[in-house]
Amino acid sequence: MFTASYATSDRIIETFRDFLTQRFGSVLKAWRLEIDPAGGNELLFSEFIDALIRVSWTGETTALWSALVNQSAGEQKDAKVGLKEISSQDGACLYEFRRWTVDGFGGPIDMFKQLTNHRSNASLTYEEFTAACASYCFTGDVNKVFHEALDLEGVGSISVNDLASLEPNKLKRKLAVDPGFVMCLAAAKAAARKMKKRYQKQQQVQQSAVREFRHRVKSASQGSFIRGWRKVLDLDENLVVSKIELLKGCRKIAFEGNVNALWKLLDFDDDGAIHLQLSRFGWHWY
């Protein structure tokens, strides 16, 4: 791949900067609007080529890429370039603003919400944004940030969508710009709560059924569960009770609880049987 000298690299990059400034008004605006609209911060070679197509660059592509990679002191293989390689001043400006929002508010989206008191469909004018930046001690170029990094359409105000691509937290970004995702997330949370309540209710029913069943079996055999097991349930004395045997036994002891819930709890491994086993801790059933 073509490797430019440092002097040649500077000229190529300067030519590219001049092209972007003439076409978009500034390098920063071009970066935000067309080169890196998704806010990935750095571009691989294939991504950079796509960006050059979007901005209608007709210069030497390979030489420009090599010059930018040289600027970043990176390797040609798997190299990435960012705004700072094209314009160190613009890169520092955007980085400083991002860092200020993260350090002071938790991120650009949280900053916007706080400055607008969490109002829906809120916006900030240039004057409001400037005043807020001053109040929270932002020392960067407010004018450049507002007009070249945020108000890309030049409408004189910014919304949360204008800050979303600068948000490092992908979930916050998605929630801010995609109402459909918000609705799906809310529906998923509601469904999860419903399932949790259903599970808790099922557990209560099952535990209640087991308590009553134990009581009924013991009552049928003078307080001994083992005698009750043999007398009421396990008539063939193989220490295993099938569902049919359980149903018959429940009728014998006039069990009034939820038989299906009882069976699901006792046949936890779903092998179609309830087992009674002797261990060093005594008899237990499962």
pLDDT tens-digit readout, 238-263:
888 888 888 888 888 888 888 888 88
Range of the domain at 256: 185-285
Torsion of CA 36, 38, 42, 48, to 10 degrees: -50
Q: Are 129 and 214 contained in the same domain?
A: no
Q: Are 158 and 198 contained in the same domain?
A: no
- Neighbouring CB atoms inside 10 A of 34's CB total 18
Residue 144 and residue 227: Cα distance in Å, rounded? 86
Q: Mean pLDDT, to the nearest integer, of 96-123?
A: 92
Q: What is the CATH number of the domain that holds 140?
A: 1.10.238.10
Q: Are 29 and 68 contained in the same domain?
A: yes
Q: Of 27, 24, 66, whose CA–CA distance to 48 is shortest?
A: 66
Q: Which of 148, 177, 206 is the last residue of a domain?
A: 177
Helices (H), 55-107: 61-72, 83-86, 88-105
pTM comes to 0.61
Q: Mean pLDDT, to the nearest integer, of 222-228?
A: 82
Q: Mean pLDDT, to the nearest integer, of 121-131?
A: 93
Residue 254 and residue 237: Cα distance in Å, rounded? 22
Q: Are 31 and 78 contained in the same domain?
A: yes
Q: Are 270 and 196 contained in the same domain?
A: yes
Q: Are 189 and 281 contained in the same domain?
A: yes
Q: Which of 130, 145, 177 is the last residue of a domain?
A: 177
Q: Which of 83, 116, 137 is the last residue of a domain?
A: 83
Q: What is the CATH number of the domain that holds 258?
A: 1.10.238
Q: Are 151 and 219 contained in the same domain?
A: no
Structural domain total, the chain: 3
The yes-or-no verdict on residue 234 having pLDDT over 70 is yes
Q: Are 281 and 189 contained in the same domain?
A: yes
Q: Are 192 and 279 contained in the same domain?
A: yes
| Model confidence pLDDT, tens digit, residues 175-211 | 777 667 567 666 777 778 888 888 888 888 888 888 8
The yes-or-no verdict on residue 84 having pLDDT over 90 is yes
Instruction: Determine the pLDDT at residue 1.
Output: 42
The angle subtended at Cα 12 by Cα 9 and Cα 15, nearest 5°, is: 145
Distances (CA, A) of 282 to 266, 268, 279, 285: 18, 20, 5, 10
- With contact defined as beta carbons under 8 Å apart, do 176 and 121 qualify? no
21-35, 79-93, 250-264: least confidently modelled range: 250-264
Q: Of 172, 25, 27, 158, whose CA–CA distance to 110 is shortest?
A: 172
Written as six digits, the tokens of 220 are 């049928």
